[in-house]
Amino acid sequence: AAGVIQSPRHLIKEKRETATLKCYPIPRHDTVYWYQQGPGQDPQFLISFYEKMQSDKGSIPDRFSAQQFSDYHSELNMSSLELGDSALYFCASSGRLRNNEKLFFGSGTQLSVL
Amino acid sequence: DAKTTQPNSMESNEEEPVHLPCNHSTISGTDYIHWYRQLPSQGPEYVIHGLTSNVNNRMASLAIAEDRKSSTLILHRATLRDAAVYYCILSVPYTDKLIFGTGTRLQVFP
């Protein structure tokens, strides 16, 4: 069965650079979620989208932005990267969580900021 | 948002049942109880969820207290592959966000 696909798997950037992470949800899933997991930390909710509109917002820095496109894939754009942005970024997709659908997570993008 | 409390770690031997507790004393009537687990170097994985009644699926069982202030995830026969961090999460009503707390790290010994 198709799963959530994230690209790239690994990304190395320098401070103050920008990064774009991509997420391709499971077909027919209309909701996408982004999470950040720092080393030894629990996943932190960043933002979610439903039908291409922002649905909920968590602890996402102002330097980050995200969107969901007409084909339901999503991109997380990160600017002015800081060392503290080094983390594993997970994308998940589902039918709508508020309807108690379960989330399916991708394998994540490991971002290293040097 | 309602919070959950879980033990930091638990241990089990292979092929034994495991009961992972979760306290959620401030749960509201519309909060669903979700369990996810995260194996090393992988994204979180859905395990089970429920509202009031006990739930069973091929992975686990969820026992919910009558007053809903606590629940227990039951793995009927632990395997080495079940070693993971288990998160008990309450859904935030009318939102599309799942807030992870500090889960329970389960170690399984052969």
Q: Inter-chain contact B43–A98, Cβ cutoff 8 Å?
A: no
pLDDT, tens digit (0-9, with 9 covering 90-100), for A18-52: 999 999 999 989 999 999 999 999 999 999 999 99
Distance from CA of B51 to the nearest CA of A (A): 10
A96: left (phi over 0), alpha (psi -120 to 50) or beta: beta
Question: Does residue B103 contact residue B10 with C-beta atoms inside 8 Å?
Answer: no
Mean pLDDT value across residues B12-28: 95
Distance from CA of A76 to the nearest CA of B (A): 17
- Best of B39, B87, B98, B100 to substitute, by most chain A Cβ atoms within 10 angstroms, is B98
The pLDDT mean for chain A works out to 94
Reading the block at residue B10, the tokens are: 């638990």
Sorted by sequence, the CB contacts under 8 Å of residue B41 that are 6+ apart come out as none
Q: Inter-chain contact B46–A103, Cβ cutoff 8 Å?
A: yes
What is the pLDDT, as a whole number, of residue B89? Answer: 93
Give phi and psi for A66, each to the nearest 5.
-150, 160
Mean pLDDT value across residues B63-82: 96
Band the pLDDT of B1: cuts 50, 70, 90: low
Cis before B40 (ω within 30): no
What is the pLDDT, as a whole number, of residue B84? Answer: 97
Q: How many CB atoms lie within 10 A of CB A59?
A: 10
